[in-house]
Amino acid sequence: MNKAGRNALVTSLLVCCILFVCWTPVEILFFGNYLGYPVDFGDWPYHSSVVLVFTNSCVNPFIYAAKYRRFQEGVRLLMSKIRPAEVSAVI
């Protein structure tokens, strides 16, 4: 396998593993609730699992940024198009 294929495989496995880690706690809580176990949806285990789910939706760009040079170059190009005056107006 060439370097690009290996890099794509490693990145895909990393994304899948992070998806599994982030979604498993909330799915276990939902499955337990389905089976009749009392789950308090206002307590910290549920809120922590929801935070993990939201984290999962934010982490993929950072994985790609760390793994792919072309992605890094695209982000740099995009940021170079934003002028400092536009950035300060947004903030």
Which two tokens mark 14? 């990393």
Tokens 């950035």 -> residue = 87
Instruction: Yes or no: say if 67 and 40 are a contact pair by the CB < 8 Å rule.
Output: no
The residue-averaged pLDDT of 25-35 equals 94
pLDDT in the model for residue 82: 76
Q: Long-range contacts made by residues 85-88, C-beta under 8 angstroms, separation at least 24?
A: none
pLDDT in the model for residue 61: 84
**H or E segment and range at residue 56:** helix 44-67
Q: Is the pTM of this model over 0.85?
A: no
Tens-digit pLDDT profile for residues 32-83: 999 999 989 899 999 999 999 999 989 988 888 888 888 888 888 888 877 6
